[in-house]
Amino acid sequence: MNQLNSRVLAQDDAMMGHALALGRRGLGSTWPNPAVGCVITNQGRVVGRGWTQPGGRPHAEPMALAQAGERARGGTAYVSLEPCAHHGKTPPCADALIAAGVARVVVALGDPDPRVDGGGIARLRAAGIDVIEGLRASEAEADQIGFLSRIRLGRPMVTLKLANSFDGRIATASGESRWITGPAARHWVHGERACHDAVMVGGGTARADDPSLNVRGFGEIAQPLRLVACRRLDLPKDAALIRTARDIPVWVLHGADAAPDRVAELTDAGLRCIEAPLGRDGHLDPAGMLQALGAAGLTRIFCEGGGALAASLLQADLVDHLVGFTAGLALGAEGRPSLGPLGIAALSEAPRFTLIETRALGGDVLHRWKRQG
């Protein structure tokens, strides 16, 4: 760290902050790739800015280099993730930085993709470029949690969102749930959906609420795909998700026991059916589902319930972030609980999370948590 500090100039920290912010613009739209940001400076002035484009290409560095042009020569590049070293559809970003004559590269975080994994930095150093690693690494790590999870664990990261009454209920006994939280909270949720690759619900919620699961109120933006965990594929034929599957992709996770006719019907309607293993309890196995989604390239999932899916993810310790809204109304013991049974016998078995943020939003309270450890 001392060595790092002595080589970091006063403006490096701010420029890396800028690169991190640019990278975050891509969250939700770059999968299977990470959302990276790049800033190029020369003699203290910003000459190029770039971020990973929708679908994951072009990468951030060529975007910034194109803007900088000749002004990149002798300059400094700030990148939130190690420049790539592999030949994909485009040449390695490390080579592009070398060819542009950049003198110094500041990297927040190494890229664990086995095709890169230190290779990008090694290439830059071999070309005589001064490389500094690890500046604002913990922020980059937080931004890259989905990509890191896909590479290291083979599964996307999961944010679980629950919007509850003051007493932890999500609906009245009859299932009335519109609306527990107010418009400000719902708008915030739409923004959060947009920062994820996919919005996910269980089959019960899809049947009961007939949700659209799209992002509304943010203009023309790249929509996250919609995911339903539905073992038997028993969605009503006129469900909104089925009717709109050709506009915004819908993937359905199902068990091996789903009727082949249903698979064919939904596939014809434009949905993608993905088989996932069943757990010992006969329900879709949450770890198996997430592995299938990781293999399909997803990095960030926003799960909006219902109670059974949410409980199964929590029970399997697969929830990375919790987003809760608490509304100022009480529904009592007859209301529907936000979570199904977790099978907890002792307090020590309860999944615990660390508080990141609390905020008042309209008349509701937002709270965000991350998994402990």
Q: Which of 61, 82, 139, 304 is catalytic?
A: 61
Q: Taking the chain, what is the end-to-end CA distance rounded to the nearest angstrom?
A: 23
Figure out which of the listed residues 33, 165, 299, 315 binds ligand AOF, where binding follows CB under 6 A: 33
Give the tokens for residue 346: 């002792």
List C-alpha distances in Å: 326 to 42, 195, 296, 355, 367.
Answer: 48, 22, 34, 15, 8
113 binds, among Zn ion, ligand AOF, none (CB under 5 to 8 A by kind): ligand AOF
**Counting contacts by CB under 5 A, is residue 59 touching Zn ion?**
yes
Figure out which of the listed residues 20, 63, 64, 93 binds Zn ion, where binding follows CB under 5 A: 93
Figure out which of the listed residues 19, 64, 65, 84 binds Zn ion, where binding follows CB under 5 A: 84
**Counting contacts by CB under 5 A, is residue 150 touching Zn ion?**
no
**Counting contacts by CB under 6 A, is residue 59 touching ligand AOF?**
yes
- How far apart (Å, rounded) are the C-alpha atoms in residues 265 and 254? 14
Write out 25-91 in H/E/C secondary structure.
CCCCCCCCCCCCEEEEEECCEEEEEEECCHHHCCCHHHHHHHHHHHHHCCCEEEECCCCCCCCCCCC
- How far apart (Å, rounded) are the C-alpha atoms in residues 29 and 193? 11
Contacts of 281 (CB under 8 A, 6+ apart): none
Please state the closest distance from residue 53 (CB atom) to ligand AOF, in A: 8
203 binds, among Zn ion, ligand AOF, none (CB under 5 to 8 A by kind): none
Question: Between 286-295 and 145-153, two packed helices, what is the crossing angle to 10 degrees?
Answer: 100
220 has catalytic annotation: no
Q: Which is nearer to Zn ion, 93 or 109 (CB)?
A: 93
Which region among 78-86, 106-114, 199-207, 220-228 touches Zn ion (by CB under 5 A)?
A: 78-86
Residue type, 187: H
Q: Which is nearer to Zn ion, 34 or 305 (CB)?
A: 34
Give the tokens for residue 364: 């509701």
Please state the closest distance from residue 155 (CB atom) to Zn ion, in A: 23
Residue 96 falls in which region: left (phi positive, over 0), alpha (psi -120 to 50) or beta: alpha
CB-CB contact of 156 with 293 (8 Å)? yes
Please state the closest distance from residue 18 (CB atom) to ligand AOF, in A: 15
x-or-dash string of contact with Zn ion, 336-355, rule CB under 5 A: --------------------
List C-alpha distances in Å: 260 to 185, 189, 233.
Answer: 40, 35, 10
Please state the closest distance from residue 140 (CB atom) to ligand AOF, in A: 12
Number of alpha carbons in the 13 Å side-chain half-sphere of residue 74: 6
Contacts of 253 (CB under 8 A, 6+ apart): 227, 228, 229, 230, 274, 275, 276, 284, 289, 292, 293
**Counting contacts by CB under 6 A, is residue 56 touching ligand AOF?**
yes
Q: Which of residues 178-197 bind Zn ion (CB under 5 A)?
A: none
Q: Which of residues 103-132 bind ligand AOF (CB under 6 A)?
A: 111, 113, 116
**Counting contacts by CB under 6 A, is residue 52 touching ligand AOF?**
yes
57 binds, among Zn ion, ligand AOF, none (CB under 5 to 8 A by kind): ligand AOF
Please state the closest distance from residue 124 (CB atom) to Zn ion, in A: 12
**Counting contacts by CB under 5 A, is residue 123 touching Zn ion?**
no
Residue nearest to ligand AOF (CB): 88
Give the tokens for residue 146: 């989905």
**Counting contacts by CB under 6 A, is residue 29 touching ligand AOF?**
no
Which region among 87-95, 204-212, 216-224, 305-313 touches ligand AOF (by CB under 6 A)?
A: 87-95
Among 96, 101, 163, 84, CA closest to 326? 163
- How far apart (Å, rounded) are the C-alpha atoms in residues 83 and 71? 19
Which region among 63-71, 92-100, 329-337, 355-363 touches Zn ion (by CB under 5 A)?
A: 92-100
Please state the closest distance from residue 188 (CB atom) to ligand AOF, in A: 27
Give the tokens for residue 82: 């190690």
Please state the closest distance from residue 1 (CB atom) to ligand AOF, in A: 25
Give me the residues that bind ligand AOF (CB under 6 A), please. Answer: 33-34, 36, 52, 56-57, 59-61, 81, 83-84, 88-89, 93, 111, 113, 116
> Which residues are designated catalytic?
61
